[in-house]
Amino acid sequence: AIQMTQSPSSLSASVGDRVTITCRASQGIRNDLEWYQQKPGKAPKLLIYAASSLQTGVPSRFSGSGSGTDFTLTISSLQPEDFATYYCLQDYNYPGTFGQGTKVEIK
Amino acid sequence: EVRLVESGGGLVQPGGSLRLSCATSGFAVNSNYMSWVRQAPGKGLEWVSVIFSDGSTYYADSVKGRFTISRHNSKNTLYLQMNSLRTEDTAVYYCGRELRGGGMDVWGQGTTVTISS
């Protein structure tokens, strides 16, 4: 199975900060990568699909980039509602695999 | 409105079985990929299984041979039959609609499975 290595595992940031989270795949996955946001006790929410396409209704401060093995989720200006845990998921082939998650906390 | 509602979770002894259901509304369950994802207490998300619109199925290595994903088209319901359950299967189980190339855009609220003696 493809391994997804996500970093950092956690970060502290302030409102207004630019935040970057990365995922690295153990082999090339084209652009078959998604980013999800999860808040405590809630189901995950799709933010980005196909590595860089913004899901309908998601604020434009979220963006994704990358192809092949290296991918990035960027939040251009962190807002209070963005404090959550973020996961990448590859579905280039199955079984699908999530990254370990990045918890974004308030500094 | 597109909606997913899971049910069937509960407390089961190790070695037991459980069937989870995911009732869908607003779309046809057999026209999309449908997935199960789980989250153990305090842990990250784990991909479990998917069924394609053509009926093909895939499983995580951790559940292969023990879990079976299926659907009932006329009931518009997705299932996950879980056999030979282990304590490490304890988790919240989510179902999700997966758009090929478009990610899991709709999720259920989750159902809790606890495996304990």
Residues 51-70 of chain B whose Cβ lies under 8 A from any Cβ of chain A? 58-61
Q: Is B5 exposed, middle or buried (0-12, 13-18, 19+ CB in 10 A)?
A: middle
Residue B6: other Cβ atoms inside 10 A: 23
Q: Is B82 left (phi over 0), alpha (psi -120 to 50) or beta?
A: beta
Q: Label residue B101 by pLDDT band (50, 70, 90).
A: confident
Distances (CA, A) of A89 to A14, A107, B80, B83, B86: 26, 27, 21, 26, 25
Whether A39 and A87 have beta carbons less than 8 Å apart is answered as no
Q: Which of B37, B49, B59, B97 to mutate to test the interface with A (most CBs of A within 10 A)?
A: B37
Residues A95, B108: C-beta atoms closer than 8 Å: no
| Residues of A whose CB is below 8 A from B58 | 94-95
Q: How far is CA B116 from CA B16, B48, B85, B90, in A?
A: 10, 20, 10, 8
Q: Does A45 touch chain B (CB under 8 A)?
A: yes
pLDDT at A3: 98
Answer whether A21's CB lies under 8 Å from A6's CB.
Answer: yes
Contacts of A95 in chain B (CB under 8 A): 47, 58-61
List of chain A residues whose C-beta atoms are within 8 Å of the C-beta of residue B35: 96
Mind listing the pLDDT tens digit for each residue in B33-81? 999 999 999 999 999 999 999 999 999 999 999 999 999 999 999 999 9
pLDDT at B102 over 90: no
Does A57 reach chain B within 8 Å, measured CB to CB?
no
List the single residue in B with minimal CA-CA distance to A43. B109
Q: Is residue B100 predicted with pLDDT exceeding 90?
A: no
The closest CB to that of A95, out of B59, B102, B110, belongs to B59
Q: Tens digit of pLDDT for each residue in A16-26?
A: 999 999 999 99
Which three-class secondary structure state does DSSP give residue B91? strand
Do B107 and A55 make contact, defined as CB atoms within 8 angstroms?
no
Which pLDDT value is given to residue A76?
98
The shortest CB-CB distance from A97 to any of B47, B98, B109 is to B47
Contact B78, B55 (CB under 8 A): no
Contact A89 B107 (CB under 8 A): no
**pLDDT tens track for A30-53:** 999 999 999 999 999 999 999 999
At residue B22 the predicted structure's pLDDT band, cuts being 50, 70 and 90, is very high
Nearest chain B Cα distance for residue A88, angstroms: 10
Closest residue by Cα to residue B34 from B22, B19, B51, B47: B51
